[in-house]
């Protein structure tokens, strides 16, 4: 187990000596102690969620957790959850049933002048946090990684991206295959319009994607 002074990089090196369960446990400990990004204070971390699955091989990457440390419970998450429920497969009603969920930044990013309000994580924060994501990807060997949002896509691909330009594209990286997606939050309506889609057509497309992912598990 690593101490509070360990960096995300040293966590990666040491933890690969363990099995997946040990890696994830070590990672939680190190994330919990991490204070690398000062603007992330008060350092509300991604809450451990043992209900999510490791068995399907699908990983879902968010930009960052909400103020309670939850992933995909905001407007984008609700759109994703509705699209999955529309598949109507009783085994996969929730994102947690189908995906191992994680984030580009493990802390909930607050606005400087009003800590009650969220902001997107910065490029530097996602870069600081990327070794944790990288470690998960290497440990889990996901069959497909869905990166939802600009920061999630950039951290997963390890390069800055304009998510509108990579929306719907598949990328081969060392850890597996990545599908980069625009966040389906209703606030992204202008980006959707530029891509020639609407929230409704995007939702139907996501339902088709989730249905295909489920079919591939049979």
Using CB under 6 A as the criterion, which residues of the chain lie in contact with ligand SF4 when the complex forms? 8, 31, 34-37, 40, 105-107, 125, 128-129
Of residues 110 and 167, the one with the C-beta less far from ligand SF4 = 110
Of residues 153 and 214, the one with the C-beta less far from ligand SF4 = 153
**Smallest gap from residue 9 Cβ to ligand SF4 (A):** 11
Of residues 40 and 61, the one with the C-beta less far from ligand SF4 = 40
- Contacts of residue 140, Cβ cutoff 8 Å, sequence gap at least 6: 20, 54, 57, 59, 100
**Smallest gap from residue 129 Cβ to ligand SF4 (A):** 3
**Alpha helix ranges (H) inside the chain:** 8-15, 20-33, 75-85, 95-98, 123-140, 150-157, 163-166, 189-194, 199-215
- Give me 217's structure tokens: 């598990």
**Smallest gap from residue 141 Cβ to ligand SF4 (A):** 22
DSSP 39: G
Of residues 31 and 152, the one with the C-beta less far from ligand SF4 = 31
Total residues belonging to the chain: 218
**Smallest gap from residue 51 Cβ to ligand SF4 (A):** 22
- Contacts of residue 26, Cβ cutoff 8 Å, sequence gap at least 6: 1, 2, 11, 14, 15, 18
Of residues 37 and 153, the one with the C-beta less far from ligand SF4 = 37
- Contacts of residue 78, Cβ cutoff 8 Å, sequence gap at least 6: none
**Smallest gap from residue 34 Cβ to ligand SF4 (A):** 3
- Contacts of residue 81, Cβ cutoff 8 Å, sequence gap at least 6: 72, 94, 95
């Amino acid at each position: 187990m690593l101490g509070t002074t360990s960096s995300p990089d040293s966590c990666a090196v040491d933890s690969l000596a363990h099995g997946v369960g040990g890696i994830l446990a070590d990672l939680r400990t190190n994330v919990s102690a991490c204070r690398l990004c000062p603007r992330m204070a008060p350092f509300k971390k991604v809450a451990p969620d043992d209900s999510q699955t490791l068995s399907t091989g699908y990983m879902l990457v968010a930009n960052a957790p909400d103020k309670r440390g939850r992933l995909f419970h905001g407007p984008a998450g609700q759109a994703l959850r509705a699209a999955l429920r529309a598949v109507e497969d009783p085994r996969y009603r929730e994102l947690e049933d189908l995906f191992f969920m994680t984030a580009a930044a493990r802390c909930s990013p607050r606005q400087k002048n009003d800590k009650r309000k969220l902001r997107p994580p910065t490029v530097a924060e996602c870069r600081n946090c990327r070794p944790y994501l990288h470690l998960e990807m290497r440990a889990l060997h996901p069959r497909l990684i869905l990166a939802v949002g600009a920061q999630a896509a950039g951290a997963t691909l390890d390069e800055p991206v304009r998510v509108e330009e990579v929306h719907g594209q598949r990328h081969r990286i060392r850890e597996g295959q990545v599908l980069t997606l625009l966040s389906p939050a209703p606030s992204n309506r202008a980006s959707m319009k530029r891509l020639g889609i609407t929230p409704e057509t995007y939702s139907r497309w996501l339902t088709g994607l989730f249905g295909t992912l489920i079919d591939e598990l049979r």
